[in-house]
């Protein structure tokens, strides 16, 4: 009985201390960890396309707001604004989600919010965050140099 308890306890410790997988190794879990440094850095908000009552495109000029989103390599973020708002900050989780057409979509989750699809332009200077799969907005940022 003691031996069985020891094996169970050792196995439990192994799973608690195990690192997350770096690729999709499970058929039941359609997410895998992403190790990409290309989106890390400072980004300046360029536009938001939205739905519902505010359907249309909002820009820094039309909203009189300048938002800077900083994505750090330690998987934290900070969002500051020139309007009278409290800066948002916290953690980010980067994943890839397997889609029905057998491709992967890059996902980013800020704190415990709903995850967004993200994509980079070919030259890496434009970041798009999209919640359109939830019928919500799409935000565009340009890299601060």
pLDDT in tens, 99-129: 776 678 899 999 999 999 999 998 889 999 9
Provide the terminal-to-terminal Cα distance of the chain, rounded to the nearest Å: 63
- pLDDT of amino acid 84: 73
Domains of the chain: 22-143 (2.40.128)
Tell me if residue 63 falls in helix, strand or coil.
helix
Secondary structure letter of residue 101 according to DSSP = T
pTM greater than the 0.85 cutoff: no
Rounded Cα–Cα distance for residues 61 and 84 (Å): 16
């Amino acid at each position: 009985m003691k031996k069985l308890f020891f094996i169970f306890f050792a196995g439990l410790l192994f799973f608690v201390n195990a690192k997350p997988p770096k690729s999709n190794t499970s058929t039941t879990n359609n997410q895998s960890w992403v190790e990409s440094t290309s989106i890390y850095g400072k980004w300046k908000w360029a536009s938001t396309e939205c739905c519902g009552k505010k359907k249309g495109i909002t820009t820094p000029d039309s909203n009189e707001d300048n938002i800077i989103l900083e994505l750090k390599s330690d998987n934290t973020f900070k969002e500051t604004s020139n309007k009278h708002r409290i800066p948002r900050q916290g953690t980010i989780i980067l994943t890839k989600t397997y889609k029905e057409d057998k491709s992967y979509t890059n996902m980013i989750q800020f704190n415990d919010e709903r995850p967004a699809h993200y994509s980079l332009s070919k030259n890496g200077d434009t970041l798009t965050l999209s919640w359109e799969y939830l019928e919500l907005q799409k935000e565009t940022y340009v890299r601060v140099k």
